[in-house]
């Protein structure tokens, strides 16, 4: 990784992506097309919802309202995780050289070159282990602690759908002309984060948690 780049994260407007590894193999893993996210994770969402529906039908009759409620809950949980990760991990103030390198690789390079199309989403080598981790946490909460295993897959499906929406919104705000008040607001909100208030406006898919935690400047 370029030490000077990590120490001076000013915006880089060049077309050529900043190189962070000497190894071509490692460098290749830092570039991911945004379409990888929906292609990889939409099937996971569909499988979770189908299994949840079949499990409910096999268990009892009636309206499986918990599937919709769990899905919405998973979306809300994602927005909170998105906010916390962006604020406390991606914008961590490094105290050691390895923290500086890690923060730069995770997010600093995106702020230095915000319009690089291939560095907007997490590589699958990172996102898949993170998904496994959160599935384990949801299993602990819903299946073991709450004895509500029927909620596990709907909540996880909503959580993953939130991640998909987040990456699509992030790509659109950087690389696509937008129409409509909501899209224009999200684009302005995120561009202000990049170019005016990097230590505020952490929400990408929603500004809700910025309102809640006071990180939305007037």
Identify the pLDDT of residue 61: 57
Identify the pLDDT of residue 70: 96
Phi (first) and psi of residue 60, to 5 degrees: -165, 175
- Report how far residue 79's alpha carbon sits from residue 61's, in angstroms, rounded to the nearest whole number: 32
Q: Is residue 67 part of a domain?
A: yes
Q: Encoding tokens for residue 108?
A: 């600093």
- The domain tally of the chain equals 1
Identify the pLDDT of residue 19: 78
Q: Is residue 99 part of a domain?
A: yes
Identify the pLDDT of residue 107: 82
- Report how far residue 81's alpha carbon sits from residue 71's, in angstroms, rounded to the nearest whole number: 15
CB 166 within 8 A of CB 135: no
Q: Is residue 11 part of a domain?
A: no
Q: Is residue 10 part of a domain?
A: no
Domain range for residue 172?
20-213
Q: Is residue 3 part of a domain?
A: no
Considering the entire predicted model, what is its pTM?
0.87
Identify the pLDDT of residue 11: 57
Q: Is residue 7 part of a domain?
A: no
- Report how far residue 114's alpha carbon sits from residue 112's, in angstroms, rounded to the nearest whole number: 6
Q: Is residue 128 part of a domain?
A: yes
Mean pLDDT by 10 residues, the chain (218 residues): 42 66 75 90 97 81 81 98 96 88 82 82 89 97 94 97 96 91 95 94 96 93
Q: Is residue 144 part of a domain?
A: yes
Phi-psi sector, 10: left (phi>0), alpha (psi -120 to 50), beta:
beta
Torsion of CA 191, 91, 45, 40, to 10 degrees: 80
């Amino acid at each position: 990784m370029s030490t000077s780049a990590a120490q001076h994260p000013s915006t880089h407007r060049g077309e050529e992506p900043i190189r962070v590894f000497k190894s071509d193999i490692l460098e290749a893993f830092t570039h991911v097309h945004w379409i990888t996210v929906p292609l990889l994770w939409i099937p996971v969402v569909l499988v979770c919802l189908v299994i949840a529906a079949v499990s409910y039908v096999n268990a009892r009759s009636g309206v499986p309202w918990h599937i919709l409620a769990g899905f919405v809950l998973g979306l809300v949980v994602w927005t909170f995780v998105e906010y916390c990760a962006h604020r406390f991990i991606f914008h961590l103030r490094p105290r050691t050289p390895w923290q500086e390198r890690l923060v730069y690789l995770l997010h600093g390079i995106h702020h230095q070159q915000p319009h690089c199309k291939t560095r907007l989403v997490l590589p699958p080598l990172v996102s898949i282990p993170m998904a496994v981790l959160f599935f384990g946490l949801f299993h602990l909460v819903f299946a073991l602690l709450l004895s509500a295993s029927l909620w596990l897959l709907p909540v996880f499906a909503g959580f993953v759908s939130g991640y998909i929406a987040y990456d699509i919104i992030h790509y659109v705000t950087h690389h696509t002309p937008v129409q409509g008040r909501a899209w224009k607001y999200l684009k302005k909100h995120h561009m202000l984060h990049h170019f005016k208030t990097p230590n505020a406006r952490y929400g990408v898919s929603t500004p809700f948690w910025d309102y809640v935690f006071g990180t939305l400047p007037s």
